[in-house]
Amino acid sequence: MTANKSEVRLSVQQLRKVYGVGSRNEVEAVRSLTFDLHAGEFACLVGPSGSGKTTLLKCIAGLLDPTSGEVVLDGRRVAGPAEGMAVVFQEYSRSLFPWLSVEENVELPLKTSGVPKAERKARVSEALEAVSLSHATKSYPWQLSGGMQQRVAIARAVASNPSVLLMDEPFAAVDAQTRGELEDLVRDVWQRLNMTILFVTHDIDESVYLAERVLVLSSSPTIIQADLHIDLPDVRSQADTRSLHRFGELRHQVYEEVQFAKINPGGERTAAHGELRS
C-alpha cells in the first residue's frame, strides 16, 4: 500500500475504557487518549507496566469496545475487528497453526477473505520474501526457531496488506540477538512495503531504535503524556545507531518520561515539571 504521509490512517479520539462499569471492581484503564497516525508512520507506544497499552491496542484493533470515544481507520469508525488492521502478538507459538506449513499459515487469512488463488500465491510469496523465509515455505512452525516463527506471524500480517499494522510486544519472548535481528527486519519491511506501524513495547531502547515517533503513556488512568519525534537517521544499524550521542539523549528523554509516568497516574504535571516536551 503506498503511503502519502499527510493522510491520516488511524485516528484515536478521546478514547476511554473503564472495565466493569458500575461494579465494585470498576477500573478506569484508559482515561482520554487522542492521537493520529499518518500514512507511512512508524510509531512506538511505551509506558509503565499496567499503563493500558494492551487495552488501548485491543480497542484500536476492534477486539474490545471503548467505553467512550472512537477509533477511526481510513475515515471509518472501528466497531469490531477491522479488515484494514493486522495484529502481531507476543505469543507467536499460539498464533500459528502447527498442522499447516509456513506458506499455508500465511495464506489462510487471505483464503478466508476470498482473495483469488493467483493473487494469494503472489502475496504470500512477496510477504515471505520480505521476512527472508522464501527457503522455508514448506516447513511446519514446530520445525522453526522462535525468531523464525515470529517472522511467519509478521509475514501473515503483512500479506493482508493492512492499512495499519499493530504489534503488541512482539519480540518480548525471544533472546536478545534474535530480537535485534527482528527489529531490523521490521524496519526493513516497513520501508520496503511502505507500511504504517503502531508498535507497543515496554523497552525504551527498542522504541527509540525502531520508531520515528514515540508516544509515552502515563500510568493508568492513561493519557498520552509525551509525543516525541525521533530524529535519528533513516538508515539504522544495531551497532552504529545505538552508539550515537543522539540515541543516548533520546533514550534518556523517553526514560525520564516513563519514570515520571510511573509516579503520576493520569499524567498530571505540576508547574515544577514543566510543559509536555514534544
Asked if 170 interacts with ligand ATP (CB under 6 A), we say: no
In contact, 65 and 37? CB cutoff 8 Å? no
Residue 87, beta-bridge partner list: 166
Among 1, 7, 18, 19, binds ligand ATP (CB under 6 A): 19
Among 50, 84, 109, 266, binds ligand ATP (CB under 6 A): 50
Closest CB to ligand ATP among residues 157, 258: 258
Among 52, 162, 180, 267, binds ligand ATP (CB under 6 A): 52
Q: Which three cell numbers stand for residue 269?
A: 504535571
- Give the Cα separation of 184 and 236 in Å (integer): 8
Closest CB to ligand ATP among residues 199, 247: 199
Burial of residue 241, with CB atoms counted within 10 A of its CB: 0-12 exposed, 13-18 middle, 19 or more buried? middle
Asked if 53 interacts with ligand ATP (CB under 6 A), we say: yes
For CA atoms 81, 86, 89, 91, the dihedral sign is positive
For CA atoms 79, 83, 85, 90, the dihedral sign is positive
- Give the Cα separation of 210 and 116 in Å (integer): 34
Among 11, 38, 40, 55, binds ligand ATP (CB under 6 A): 55
Angle (CA) 32-5-236 rounded to 5° is 95
Instruction: Give the residue among 217, 232, 214, 223 at the shortest CA–CA distance from 278.
Output: 214
Residues between 129 and 158 that touch ligand ATP (CB under 6 A): none
- 3-class SS at 125? helix
Asked if 49 interacts with ligand ATP (CB under 6 A), we say: yes
Among the residue ranges 47-55, 92-100, 128-136, 235-243, the one whose residues contact ligand ATP (CB under 6 A) = 47-55
Among the residue ranges 6-14, 51-59, 79-87, 244-252, the one whose residues contact ligand ATP (CB under 6 A) = 51-59
In contact, 110 and 159? CB cutoff 8 Å? yes
State the nearest-atom distance from the C-beta of 19 to ligand ATP, in Å.
3
Closest CB to ligand ATP among residues 51, 149: 51
Greatest Cα pair distance in the chain: 62
Closest CB to ligand ATP among residues 3, 64: 64
Q: Is the bond leading into 221 cis (omega within 30 degrees of zero)?
A: yes
CA-atom Rg of the chain in angstroms: 19
Q: What character string, x for contact with ligand ATP (CB under 6 A) and - otherwise, covers 183-222?
A: -------------------x-----------------x--
Among 3, 8, 18, 27, binds ligand ATP (CB under 6 A): 27
| Number of amino acids touching ligand ATP (CB under 6 A) | 14
State the nearest-atom distance from the C-beta of 29 to ligand ATP, in Å.
3
Q: How many residues does the chain have?
A: 278
Contacting residues toward ligand ATP, per CB under 6 A: 19-20, 27, 29, 47, 49-55, 202, 220
